[in-house]
Structure 1
Amino acid sequence: MRDKKYYIVLDDFERRVIVNCLNEMRNKIIADGKYTDAVDEVLLKIIGAKQKKFKVIYKEA
């Protein structure tokens, strides 16, 4: 069975906040002497994510 993929929309500020938080979490894990493999994977995915432009259309119900 294939893994589900999730797509999220972030602006530049939100992306920077996520990268900063993940980096802080990684530093805390390193300070505790634990492995950072999971955080590293997510951090690399966020940093290397492609940008895609699209238009949002709001409709009233």
Structure 2
Amino acid sequence: MREQKYYLVFDEVERGIILRSLNELRNHLLLEGRYTDAVDELLIRFANAKKKKFKIK
């Protein structure tokens, strides 16, 4: 079976909110002494995601 790809569109404000929220979750997990591996991976992937400009008709 072929793997499907999905694309999400965020503006800069939404992108900042998501990054801050993930970072706050990471900090909360660190305070509790829990693993942050999954959140770390999401932060890296989201921060390094390609940006593409396009027009909506």
- TM-score where L is the length of structure 2: 0.89
Query: Bigger radius of gyration, 1 or 2?
Result: 1
Q: 1:25 to 1:2 in 2, by over 3 A?
A: farther
Distance apart, 1:5 and its partner CA: 2.9
Distance apart, 1:10 and its partner CA: 0.5
Aligned length: 57
Q: Which runs of 5+ in 2 are unaligned?
A: none
Match of 2:31 in 1: 31
Q: 1:3 to 1:56 in 2, by over 3 A?
A: same
Runs of 4+ in 1 over 2 A off after TM superposition: 1-6
- TM-score where L is the length of structure 1: 0.83
Percent identity over paired residues: 53
Alignment of 1:1-61 (within 5 A): 1=1, 3-57=3-57
**Cα distance in structure 1, aligned partners of 2:54 and 2:19:** 23
Give me the CA root mean square deviation. Answer: 1.3
Q: Which runs of 5+ in 1 are unaligned?
A: none
